Structure 1
């Protein structure tokens, strides 16, 4: 279980593209002591970029004896090919899913989106619930300051302030994850609210998340998942996307219309509602997303 690594910086506009492009075009520079200059950021920000590339699964870590290096992953190559500047909303939903379904890295992110069940809270409550959870499972406990920095970074990444803060348009400090509409920060009370209503989520993202939880082998005709698990099981769409039951049902109706029942459908089976998904691999779901968006 790993904590920290982000150097207190949420993802910023352009960071992931810059890191991916450097690894693609000049992979040898990642070991350069002046790599921060190549990325156009400070040294701690460069460390943060490598961290976010890893936890968003855009890169793989390859071990070579006592050392390791980063290489662009299959998901990273798919995004570089289809949306290199990360302009599509669907790309950011996929990156969010990559973080929220982590089990070893970005532990606080995985806990928040899959287990934290409080819809309105302040930072202190969030931190106390996290500490209690780690104590319950007997996990290696990092310092409280480390956990506090993780919670703060998560909230800064996702929570859009209400009312909006006056910002310099030249200052690109805001994280693109805020645009997903998963959380708001009520500045007057200092509290945060998880938004569980309908969101602008491409239907392919449902299949993408399911494929991350249970990667397809290509041997079965369909994947069947009970709707109750889709809604509430860890690392499933309902949890990862912060959706209520009604919001999930509405979005699935739209998804079935958009994708076609041969790819995704909801049916009654054995007295319960079941989602049937074609077992594409994660990159195949992304390719379908980009093809559909480019044809519109």
Structure 2
């Protein structure tokens, strides 16, 4: 794992940026900033400054909506399957993030990554605090990054602090636009209410049932996690505790309580007609996924958007 604490230029994610990144690339635009003419074209077409071009690319790439290929000394960016699935202006399921499930999905994509460590991935996958001070989060992350990214000597407290500030500015309810502010300056991630300000430099991120998390998005995350686990164990079963506490698990990424995870698993069992099932008996809580259902995460997403479009 390597640290990825820069690239956003301290800009939190904003509404419209992911749409702009995907469709700018699809229309033949470029997002790298090494060539001045391409940079100026991106500034004009995206309607933002140079640093914001960098930030747009950062957030879209971090969410897995873009991927890069190096060609000699240049890096070219391309739209991924996930990027087109949601944000393509012609075929995308929800290019303007009108459905809350799409924002939950973007959040999952941002955090389901074990290759590059960012402050939000650290918080949602490793940090255990529910009520915390920013300085305490900084201290914990600084200590843990020494173990998590041992080969990366570029990490320092100043860089970590800026990344944490950007993370909190993207997720915290305190950054919802005030009356009169323009909607595009809000981060869509604040809609999830995963983090709330609770006094100066104090924050609350409680564990609960996340009643507004659509069951299809939960199942998508569950299947992705079990797929990852099954590569190691060769079986499509996972311990309840792993689903609740392990890095990259739905319990971690969605900040579910133990009761909340149980409720989501009950709903998933009903939704899947038993193809996802779980036992909760004395001393054993285990979740099983039918092997024929294990790779149906895209079908589940399609079902969500079919239902959402009919509302």
What secondary structure does 1:83 align onto? Answer: coil
**Residue in 2 that maps onto 1:88:** 99
Q: TM-score, normalised by structure 1?
A: 0.88
What secondary structure does 2:116 align onto? Answer: coil
Structure 1 residues 179 and 29: CA distance shift in structure 2, 3 A: closer
Q: 171, 174, 181: which one pairs with 1:158? A: 171
Q: How many residues align?
A: 291
The equivalences for 1:67-146 within 5 A come to 67-79=74-86, 80=88, 81-137=92-148, 138-141=150-153, 142-146=155-159
Q: Distance in 1 between matches of 2:191 and 2:46?
A: 24
**Residue in 2 that maps onto 1:257:** 270
Q: Distance in 2 between matches of 1:65 and 1:165?
A: 43
Structure 1 residues 171 and 109: CA distance shift in structure 2, 3 A: same
Deviation readout 1:28-62 (Å, 9 max, x if unpaired): 57661211221111111111000001000011112
Q: Distance in 2 between matches of 1:11 and 1:281?
A: 30
Shift of 1:273: 2.1
Structure 1 residues 94 and 6: CA distance shift in structure 2, 3 A: same
Q: Distance in 2 between matches of 1:260 and 1:234?
A: 28
The equivalences for 1:2-17 within 5 A come to 2-17=4-19
Q: Distance in 1 between matches of 2:168 and 2:194?
A: 10
Q: Is the Cα contact below 8 Å between 1:99 and 1:106 reproduced in 2?
A: no
Q: Distance in 2 between matches of 1:105 and 1:132?
A: 17
Q: Is the Cα contact below 8 Å between 2:218 and 2:264 reproduced in 1?
A: no
User: Which shows bigger deviation, 36-45 or 48-57?
Assistant: 36-45
Q: Is the Cα contact below 8 Å between 1:181 and 1:195 reproduced in 2?
A: no
Does residue 294 of the first structure (1) align with residue 309 of the second (2)? yes
Structure 1 portions without partners, runs of 5+: none
Q: 8, 19, 22: which one pairs with 1:20? A: 22
Does residue 52 of the first structure (1) align with residue 64 of the second (2)? no
Shift of 1:6: 0.7
Shift of 1:116: 0.5
Q: Is the Cα contact below 8 Å between 1:4 and 1:150 reproduced in 2?
A: yes
Structure 2 portions without partners, runs of 5+: none
**Residue in 2 that maps onto 1:275:** 287
Q: Distance in 1 between matches of 2:98 and 2:226?
A: 27
Q: TM-score, normalised by structure 2?
A: 0.84
Q: Distance in 1 between matches of 2:151 and 2:51?
A: 28
Does residue 170 of the first structure (1) align with residue 176 of the second (2)? no
